[in-house]
Structure 1
Amino acid sequence: MQCIILAAKEIEGIAFNLADLAEKLNQLTDPRDKRGKVYELGTILTMIVLARLSGADKPYGIFEWIRARRSSFISLFNLQRGQTPCLNTIRTLLEEVVSLAELESVLKQYLHEQYGGQNSALICIDGKTMRGTIPKGYQQGVHLLSAYLAQDGIVLKQIEVNQKENEIGAGPALLESLYLKDKVVCADAMQTQRTFCTHILAQGGDYLLWVKDNQATLQADIEQFFVPPRQTAGWYIPQLPYTSAVSVSKGHGRLERRTLTLMSDEYQFINWPGLAQVFKLEREVTTLATGVSRQETVYGLTSCTPAKADAHQILEWTRLYWNIENGLHYRRDVTLHEDDMRTRLTNLAQIIALINNFVVGLAQKLGYSNLASARRYFDASIASQLFS
């Protein structure tokens, strides 16, 4: 097969080689009867990945993108019948043939083998609804809960949340599929549940969680740590020992100052599985054009001991957590137009989400921070090599 190469941005010795990915995709189990099978499973998936990298988003757009390059693909993949797959073939393959578990494993393995990583300590967990799968007149569609390595840009695992449950019920199931020893799991306040924390600790990991109104008593207990002691005449009540860290960032017309105060609960005042430290995070965001500021204070807890994570480390992890929103979900929605894809085919929707995860991860591994810009480069580079 002709080699298609996508160069990394300002990173020497790293590139994307289509032949390597095609070899991986050809390892997928194909349950179809050999009689009447026109296209290899790996071949169709490779073309779909190329289409997604180049800017084709919906199934029909993918079909048109492939059809417009028919002569090049006939030569590239040695297609015997002189044609490329039709729209129905693509849809049927994604909905009925491809194994979600196998494809997820192969794409993740490819990124690891080619570009390394997946060794960062922080695993971020968050959910996302694919809005294009919500039927008219209903409120629920395909909702996926993902475990994301924020520093590597790689989704370790995503599972569908059953419509009869929510992320709280799906959280432990996601954890059971992960290797958590010496990892730190960070999730939003919805996952601040005893069962969730117990699962993490049992697997040798630690948790870092936000606490909000869904755990009102727990939040009130944590807030008390940060209330200055009331002084009484003749008595001196010392302030509990604490450490703090500050970060300042500027971008998108805003100046953000984040102050984290961290306290140890070494005497176990709060009855919570494995709790070691509690924290208060104060955010002040100033809009530079207007000078208007807004403040927000949130609380959280962690099983990490002071020896494992100080205030600076906790502050960094809380910042990295938002990469799952800004670095993954936002890009899937805004750049890859995931929510614009209207379908009632559950498996197809999840396969597209897996491929979107791969596109986001690959762009990051190749050094592209702007995914839209990366896709424009990919499109031009793929076209020049296909038509050369």
Structure 2
Amino acid sequence: MTTAPSAAKTTAFFQLLHQTPGLDERDNRGKKHAIALVLSGLTCALCAGRDGSLSRLHRHMVNQFAPLCQLTGAAQSRPISRAQLPLLLAKVNLSLFAKLLFEWFGLDLSTLTGQWLAVDGKELRGSIQAGQTRGDACVSVVSQAHETVVGQAYYSGEKESEKLVVRQLLMDKGLLDQRLSLDALHLNPLTVNAIHKASGQYIVGLKANQRLLYRACICRCLLDPPTHYYCSEWERGHGRVEQRSYQCFSLARAVFDARWQAAGFQTLIWVKRNRQPLAGGVITEEISYYLSNRAVVTEADWVEVCGAVRGHWRIETMHYRRDVVLSEDTLRTAMSQVSRVVSCLRTLTMNLLHRLKPKNMAAQLDHFADNFTALLQFMKTEEVL
């Protein structure tokens, strides 16, 4: 069952792409292929599980070219060639395309109030060139409740810092005043200070590389009794059983270094994870620490904070599906722009598939691969075409 399209949409996404000036940065001389048709064809190919190779995506575009043209009313005589496909994608105005993509989703920040959003980056491994250790990377902001991507940005792992890109993304998208969970990389004064100043809430990982802060928090755990405590039952999944214990410590009277004074630290969260393989064996123990500017006063506060700590892994689930279900990391290209444009379309695909709420996403891709008519109907219902 699909979700009704947003009322904010005044046209189908295909028409929006077709009508937006500046999206196509090709020279007007010799244009043969409509950029909206190519991007729509790629989206259909991704929804049919053809990811992992630009050649596979192209073959699907060629095989299903006629019905796609018939539905969209495109007056195109022949599909784009495999050689021309990356050259055209390299001429897509990426920043404008991403803006159109997320505006078309109709994401209203007021609907995110009270939700926790997970922030993390992911390397696009297919973009790593010979002799290099890093390639392009994608930073995403994902709703913990629905696993929907609400914001995205790209950067070069060889030249740029994820911390700067995340901070800029949160500012550009107006997300600094939301509830955000971040990993330890983003325990940075500029980032947490900006969130706190904007009246946002954060939960951010703490590791030993922040030596003085880490030591102060360890001492707090040793000397002060926890204000709240929770221990889960043993839960089975992913080939193991796991038990999680949470403790909360107040930082209201703690004194921190000057660079952390504007961070608004209120709570230290201690988490212990005990795991054992289903086949038996040694029980392993892992302890993690998190800092938050959210004061935990009531039991409801504590339940929400524990849920947000665990819910951060929804973004890892999204990354896993992009890699395993859509084969994102196996799509190799030497052109950074191509990698990023296809990644944007992959985000569109993931968000569209979530609207169907499939029990098995891989099975849904197979269904669309076997029944292109059903895929076109779905795209029409969701106002993509």
Q: What does 1:165-314 align with in structure 2 at a 5 Å threshold?
A: 165-180=160-175, 182-227=177-222, 229=223, 239-248=224-233, 249-271=235-257, 272=260, 273-290=263-280, 292-307=282-297, 310-314=301-305
Structure 1 contact 175–199 (Cα < 8 Å) conserved: no
1:117 positional shift = 5.5
> Is the contact between residue 118 and residue 154 of structure 1 (CA under 8 Å) also seen in structure 2?
no
The answer to whether 1:349 aligns with 2:339 is yes
* Pairwise CA distance, 1:90: 2.1
The residue type paired with residue 277 of structure 1 is: T
Residue 300 of structure 1 aligns to which amino acid in structure 2? Answer: Y
1:316 matched to 2:303? The reply is no
The alpha-carbon distance between structure 1 residues 120 and 38, as it changes in their structure 2 partners (threshold 3 A), is farther
Give the match's secondary structure for 2:276.
Answer: strand
Check whether the contact 2:37–2:74 (CA below 8 A) recurs between aligned residues: no
Distance 2:144 2:73 in 1: 39
After TM superposition, give the deviation of residue 186 of structure 1 in Å. 1.3
Q: CA deviation at 1:365?
A: 2.2
Superposition deviation, residue 360 in structure 1? 1.6
Matches of 2:115 and 2:305, distance apart in 1: 12
Matched, 1:379 2:373: no
Structure number with the bigger relative contact order (C-alpha 8 A, sep ≥ 6) is 2
User: What SS is found at the alignment partner of 1:87?
Assistant: coil
Aligned to 1:365: 355
Matches within 5 A, 1:31-70: 31-57=25-51, 58-70=53-65
TM-score, normalised to structure 2's length? 0.85
* Letter in structure 1 aligned against 2:237: G
Higher alpha-carbon deviation: 376-385 or 101-110: 376-385
Does 1:135 pair with 2:129?
yes
Distance change in 2, residues 1:42/1:50 (3 Å): same
3-state SS of paired residue (1:344): coil
CA distance in 1, matches of 2:228, 2:348: 39
Say whether the 8 Å CA contact 1:180–1:203 is kept in structure 2.
no
- The worse-fitting range, judged by mean Cα deviation, of 199-208 and 345-354 is 199-208
Write the distance in 2 (CA, Å) between the matches of 1:33 and 1:104.
Answer: 21
Seen in structure 2, the aligned counterparts of structure 1 residues 117 and 27 have a Cα distance that, compared at 3 Å, is farther
CA contact (8 A) 1:157 1:174 kept: yes
In structure 2, how many angstroms separate the alpha carbons of the residues matched to 1:67 and 1:262?
A: 57
Shift of 1:347: 0.9
CA distance in 2, matches of 1:81, 1:192: 51
CA deviation string 1:187-238 (max 9, x = no partner): 11111111111121232212211111211221111111221x4xxxxxxxxx
Q: Which amino acid aligns with 1:377?
A: H
SS of the residue 1:213 aligns to: coil
Alignment of 1:42-191 (within 5 A): 42-57=36-51, 58-96=53-91, 98-112=92-106, 118-119=112-113, 121-155=115-149, 156-161=151-156, 163-180=158-175, 182-191=177-186
Mapped contact 1:360–1:371 kept (Cα < 8 A):
no
Which AA in structure 2 matches 1:171? V
Contact 1:120–1:152, Cα closer than 8 Å, also in 2: no
- Aligned counterparts of 1:22 and 1:333: Cα–Cα separation in 2: 26
Give, in angstroms, the shift of residue 361 of structure 1: 1.8
CA-CA distance at 1:162 after TM superposition: 5.4
Corresponding letter in the other structure for 1:267: R
- Deviation of the 1:276 alpha carbon: 0.7
Query: 1:302-337 CA distances to partner (integer Å, 9 max, x unpaired)?
Result: 0012248732211100111011112x2111111111
**Residue identity opposite 1:337 in structure 2:** S
Query: Does the CA-based 8 Å contact 1:153-1:360 persist in structure 2?
Result: no
Compute the displacement of 1:281 (Å): 0.4
Q: How many residue pairs are counted as aligned between the two chains?
A: 363
Deviation at 1:35, TM superposition (A): 4.9
| Contact kept? 2:135, 2:156, Cα under 8 Å | no
Cα 1:14–1:79 shift into 2, 3 Å: closer
SS in 1 for 2:90: helix
- What is the DSSP-based 3-state SS (H/G/I as helix, E as strand, rest coil) of the residue aligned with 2:12? helix
Q: Structure 1 residues 257 and 213 mapped into 2: Cα distance closer, same or farther (>3 Å)?
A: same
Question: What amino acid sits opposite 1:25 in the alignment?
Answer: L
1:340 Cα offset (Å): 0.9
CA deviation map 1:95-134 (0-9, x unaligned)? 11x22222222222333369x9655532212111111111
Paired residue secondary structure (1:240):
coil
* Greater C-alpha Rg: 1
Q: Which runs of 5+ in 1 are unaligned?
A: 1-6, 230-238
What do you get for the CA RMSD once the two structures are aligned? 2.8
| Distance in 1, Cα, partners of 2:176 & 2:88 | 37
Q: What amino acid is aligned across from residue 243 of structure 1 in structure 2?
A: H
CA distance in structure 2 between the partners assigned to 1:37 and 1:152 by the alignment: 40
Structure 1 CA distance for aligned equivalents of residues 350 and 193 of structure 2: 32
